[in-house]
Structure 1
Amino acid sequence: MYVLQNHVGVSLNKILKVVFVYIICCTVSVNSAPTCIEPTNLQAKFNRLNGGIDTRTLLFTEGWKHDTLDSDFEQLVKIGENKTQSSCPSTSLKGSNLPLMVRTSCPWFLERTQYSAETYPHDNYKATTKCTKCIDASGDQKCSPIQQKIQILKRAGCENGFYKYEITDTYIPVAYVCEQPREVVNDVQITTARPPVDGPVEM
């Protein structure tokens, strides 16, 4: 019995030593792995990709001024949240002080959306709506997004201590319109080509 216990004790010691050595090796490996940081020119590179356009202006439908962009955009976000984010209005909203985004038959609001941590920018805004069918419309008219293609940056490895980024296309909804049902003539569907609703890259 003593020999068996001694044998078990020796085996357990060997296992513990192997586990300890493995943990030490893993710790050394992690500590010696190259540390990557974000390059400092990502915003400038992103701006150049999209022609220097502030992507927030893509969501404007009635013009904007550079010196009031921040405050105007913040106001649009708040108006959308108050008027159309909770549910689809039962009737069209009216008022000269209301922006077009809430006066249409497919009112939309601006929503902050998260990209993955692997992309730049890490978040953006998009138009979204609670309405599936057009307000005050008869028939099968439905609310459909108008989408804008933009280019974003996606991580593609590490080089010389900095993350490398490659260019990829994505689509963001910038507004919603009331769409008539597609017509079929001689078994051929007539419609205007547009990118898929979700776009090639999930936002």
Structure 2
Amino acid sequence: MYDHARKLFDEMPKLNCSRSVFSFNALLESCIKSERYDEIGKLFRELPEKLSIVLNLMSYNLAMKALCKAGSVDSAVHLMDEIEKHGIKPNTVTCNTLLTALYESGRLTEAENLWIMMEKKTIDHDLSSYNIRLGGLLKANEVSNAIQLFEEIVNKGFKPSKFTYNALIKTYVDEGNLEQANMWYEKMEQMIACPML
């Protein structure tokens, strides 16, 4: 997929099509879908300057996604700083991508700091943000904090999803606490008509 996308991108001038940030972003997306993360850094660093393409937030979000999928969390953290240096405000997608990588790699303190930064910079937390954080807290065995976060989800007016409940149910099942697992399952049944475990 990537090879075909790159070939077309390179041939665009011959086809009287200008290469823009949109075609560049499509090329980045093809790298991600083809799991050619090694190509992203090279493309991201070389092509925009060479072709006078001004990167947009989507460009940075795609690069962030690729870095996180490649396990280059430090580079993703650095990219977050770079985004802001270029005068672009990260959005919920940017932050959720980095939150996921930080929690999955066990970097709880950095993830929590990013959560706080989102609040300070008025970047909205959506249900996905809350689910990512809930999963991260549970992975770090911060069950009481996860329960408090669940209450916050409800208090903020979000309807917890199957993922929200399943994360809690799985934690209690893994601990062998079937009573609590069953309680959360029953809560889920009350909130969601058709639970899918």
Do the two structures share a fold, i.e. TM-score over 0.5? no
Higher helix share: 2
Higher RCO (CA 8 Å, separation ≥ 6 residues): 1
Q: Which has the larger radius of gyration?
A: 1
Compute the TM-score of the two structures, normalised by the length of structure 1.
0.22
